[in-house]
Amino acid sequence: MKITSRYYKLFNTYNPSTGELQDADSLPTATIYKNAAADDMTLTVANISTGLYSVISATTFEANEFAVGDRCEIIVSATVEELATMESIETFSLENDITAADVKTAIEAEGSYLDWLKNVQEGDSYIDTTTTPWQIVVHKKGDPTTEYSRKDWKDADGEAITGETKAVYSETEPE
């Protein structure tokens, strides 16, 4: 189920003696459980025809502060011929709305992330000593005015480099 969608599902009620479709004694109720806890998201139950009901949410999961990955279960309570029942009608996890078409569009878009990665890989770089701390800058090859990335320069201890320091690299064999 997509995080930006509204919930919609049909369910049935049956006569407990005959097994035939039959309306509930009163309108059934529906509750959504998010990660095994009842949530106050409003679900509306409506009678469509004899023994057939719909459950609809007025708003999206996202609007009700659900998150991608939340595990949801819809529980319906109904009483038919004075026999009260509770049943899970659906269990699902919430997913992003990203589709294959979205990914294709993003890849083909001018200035996409993949283009940016290629530009950074092929770009020129330099240390900008006019900033504090000094920064490592990657720019378009041959065009220093088109920057792709600018990051603070830090030493091996994670301290910002703010002036001339001696950078030493050594590699030792494990003993």
Q: Which helix (H) or strand (E) holds 116?
A: helix 113-122
pLDDT score for 45:
97
Which pTM was predicted?
A: 0.57
Considering the four listed CATH numbers 1.10.1220, 2.60.40, 1.10.3470, 2.30.30, the one that applies to the domain covering 8-93 is 2.60.40
Residue type, 64: N
Residue 174: per-residue pLDDT: 57
The pLDDT score that the predictor gives to residue 170 is 45
Q: How far apart are the C-alpha atoms of 75 and 28, rounded to whole Å? A: 10
Rounded Cα gap, residues 46 and 82, in angstroms:
20
Tens of pLDDT along the chain (175 residues) come to 888 899 999 999 999 999 999 999 999 999 999 999 999 999 999 999 999 999 999 999 999 999 989 999 999 999 999 999 999 999 999 988 766 676 667 666 655 666 777 777 788 888 888 888 888 888 888 888 888 788 887 777 778 777 765 444 445 555 5
161: DSSP letter: P
pLDDT on residue 109: 64
Domain boundaries for CATH 2.60.40 within the chain: 8-93
What pLDDT does 112 receive?
Answer: 65
What pLDDT was estimated at residue 65?
92
Separation CA 82–CA 4 (nearest Å)? 38
The answer to whether the beta carbons of residues 73 and 33 sit under 8 Å apart is yes
For residue 166, the model assigns a pLDDT of: 46
